[in-house]
């Protein structure tokens, strides 16, 4: 799973539901053998200091293997000129930048500066593409009108803000001649920006996630604060957008399927029910659980319905992420010399998805009650059985950190 968030600072009074132990436990229960969490650089912090803190949290805690992406929130001269080039050499070969969120959003010039370092060092840039100013404008308009319930989170981030930012990210990457991965794409219009760039010959990759295949904005309509369980960005859209995301997976516009697992407990004042969040959707922590449900949902809704074949399932969830992020052939294939990371699937097993099956640190799953066909009955990491028949049998700490090669999509260092 090439896109997960564990133990990440999330603002004053907010605590993520998962540490590395619970997050990797859920991954293993859902058939995932390697996760790629993000190391968030906070404002004023050196990347090295941020990484040291994340390694301290992860070391000895993981049930499956991990490899970090770097989130660049403060691209100082030191970060751009010294830290990033050195960290790429050390095997941290992908950076993520945000075009939205208070304290994370970079302006276009800062994005270009980070992209230029990626071009020089042979790194891959991941982009969260939403227009920050447009979202702030929409949010203020909604709040003035008294529209503050969780469902208005989706209204505040319409498709246009994602489409525009996707187009802008692609254009900036074209200027610098650097490959980009547009993460968690939710709709056809944004997907078509990526397809257009690919047809033009640009190295633009795309990712989508379970929430964009099976949830819609109607899920945010729940009574009271129930809709907060589904607050994530970009928000789930509509049935037509779901079909577009399936098309993107089927046709290769999206080459990776990730969870974007970013869990907060629901019934918790440090989670979804933060006191400020009750006053406006603006303050509800953004993110939903998914690392344990990712593979079963894609298998059940994709392979078992004929939307994708089993080869595409394997490519989207294992081979392509390993190749894209410089872990292949150690990961992503069953072959002599590769790690024996194996999930054995019972394609006929029928069950109802509940939080008890995925056991992350949250107190709910957004996919509660969904009927699933096919489930992993054994998960093996580097030849050692970690999960058997829904029971964790491996030792905490078996999971290792992986340094990575450069992405084959990256330009050779300039």
pLDDT of residue 345: 98
CA-wise closest residue to 403 among 124, 79, 93: 93
pLDDT of res. 150: 98
User: Mutual orientation of helices 159-176 and 188-200 as an angle, nearest 10°?
Assistant: 20
Nearest C-alpha neighbor of 11 from the set 266, 286, 225, 280: 286
The CA–CA distances, whole Å, from 179 to 126, 196, 197, 395 equal 9, 15, 11, 38
Which pLDDT belongs to residue 413?
A: 82
For 219, left (φ over 0), alpha (ψ -120 to 50), or beta?
Answer: alpha
What is the number of residues in the chain? 414
Identify the pLDDT of residue 412. 86
CA-wise closest residue to 327 among 44, 69, 101: 69
Domains detected in the chain: 20-324 (3.20.20.140)
Q: What pLDDT is stored for residue 155 in this prediction?
A: 99
DSSP for 176-192? HT--EEE-S--SHHHHH
Best CA proximity match to 375, nearest among 365, 364, 366, 388 = 388
- DSSP sequence for 348-368: EEEEE--HHHH--SSS--TTT
CA–CA separation, 125 vs 3, rounded Å? 13
Alpha-carbon radius of gyration of the chain = 20
Q: What angle separates helix 159-176 from helix 108-121, to the nearest 10 degrees?
A: 50
pLDDT tens for each residue of 338-380: 999 999 999 999 999 999 999 999 999 999 999 999 999 999 9
Residue 268 neighbours by CB distance under 10 Å: 16
Closest CA to 215 of 164, 303, 151, 307: 151
Q: Is 79 helix (H, G, I), strand (E, B) or coil?
A: helix
Cα(379)–Cα(33) distance, integer angstroms: 7
Whole-structure pTM value: 0.98
Strand-pairing partners, residue 66, are 35, 401
pLDDT, averaged per 10 consecutive residues of the chain (414 residues), comes to: 97 96 99 99 96 98 99 98 98 99 97 98 99 99 98 99 99 99 99 99 99 99 96 99 99 99 98 97 98 99 98 99 99 98 98 98 99 99 99 98 98 82
């Amino acid at each position: 799973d090439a896109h997960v968030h564990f133990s990440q600072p999330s603002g004053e009074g907010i605590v993520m539901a998962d540490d590395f132990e619970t997050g990797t436990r859920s991954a293993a229960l859902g058939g995932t053998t390697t996760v790629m969490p993000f190391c968030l650089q906070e404002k004023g912090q050196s990347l090295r200091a941020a990484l040291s803190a994340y390694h301290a949290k992860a070391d000895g805690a993981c049930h499956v293997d991990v490899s970090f992406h770097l989130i660049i929130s403060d691209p100082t001269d030191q970060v751009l000129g010294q830290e990033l080039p050195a960290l790429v050499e050390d095997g941290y070969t992908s950076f993520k930048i945000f075009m939205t969120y208070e304290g994370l959003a970079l302006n276009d010039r800062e994005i270009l500066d980070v992209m230029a370092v990626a071009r020089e060092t042979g790194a891959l840039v991941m982009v969260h593409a939403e227009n920050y100013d447009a979202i702030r404008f929409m949010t203020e308009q909604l709040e003035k009108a008294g529209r503050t319930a969780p469902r208005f989170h989706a209204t505040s981030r319409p498709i246009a803000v994602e489409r525009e930012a996707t187009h802008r990210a692609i254009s900036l990457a074209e200027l610098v001649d650097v490959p980009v991965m547009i993460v968690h794409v939710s709709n056809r219009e944004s997907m078509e920006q990526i397809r257009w760039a690919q047809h033009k010959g640009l190295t633009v990759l795309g990712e989508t996630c379970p929430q964009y295949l099976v949830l819609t904005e109607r899920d945010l309509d729940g009574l009271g604060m129930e809709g907060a369980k589904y607050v994530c960005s970009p928000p789930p859209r509509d049935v037509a957008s779901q079909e577009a995301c399936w098309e993107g997976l089927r046709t290769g516009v999206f080459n990776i399927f990730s969870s974007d697992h970013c869990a907060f407990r629901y019934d918790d004042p440090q989670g979804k029910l933060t006191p400020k969040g009750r006053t406006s959707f603006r303050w509800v922590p953004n993110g939903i659980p998914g690392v344990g449900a990712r593979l079963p949902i894609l298998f059940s809704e994709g392979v078992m319905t004929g939307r994708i074949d089993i080869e595409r399932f394997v490519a989207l969830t294992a081979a392509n992420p390993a190749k894209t992020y410089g872990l292949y052939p150690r990961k992503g294939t069953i072959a002599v010399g590769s790690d024996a990371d194996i999930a054995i699937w019972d394609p006929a097993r029928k069950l109802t998805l509940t939080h008890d099956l995925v056991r992350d640190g949250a107190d709910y799953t957004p996919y509660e009650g969904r009927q699933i066909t096919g489930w992993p009955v054994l998960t093996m990491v580097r030849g050692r059985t970690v999960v058997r028949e829904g029971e964790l049998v491996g030792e905490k700490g078996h999971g290792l950190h992986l340094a990575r090669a450069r992405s084959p999509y990256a330009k050779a260092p300039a």
